[in-house]
Copies of this chain bind each other. A is one copy, B any other.
C-alpha cells in the first residue's frame, strides 16, 4: 500500500467493511477477496481480521460460525442495529469531510 492510502484508510476502512456488510453477511476471507476486487489490491489479510475482531468487540456485528467445504470453519459477520447506527454516523462524518475536500479541489479556499 502506498503510505498516503494507508493513512487515509484509517477510519474509512471500517466504514467500508460495515457498508459491505449491510444486508450482506460475510466472513473474513470473503471480505478480503472483495476488497481486493475493488482495487484495494494490497490490503493485508491481518488487517481485515483485526478489524473484524474490533467491530465484534465493539458490538457492531453479530457472529455465527459455519462449516466450510474447503478449509477451517468460517466466522460469518452480520451488521446489527448498533452497527447500523454507527454506520449512519460514519456516513455523516464522511459526507462532511468529502464536502470540504470537494470544495478545496474544485476551487480552493
Contact = CB atoms under 8 A, between A and B. Distances in A.
A33 interface: no
Interface of A: 2, 4-12, 14-16, 19-20, 22-24, 38-40, 89-91, 93-94, 96-98, 100-101, 104-105, 108-109
Kindly report how many copies of this chain are found in the complex they form together. 2
A61 to B, nearest CB: 16
A91 B105 contact: yes
A15 B11 CA distance: 16
Contacts of A89: 2, 4
A25 B95 CA distance: 28
A98 B96 contact: no
B4 A93 contact: yes
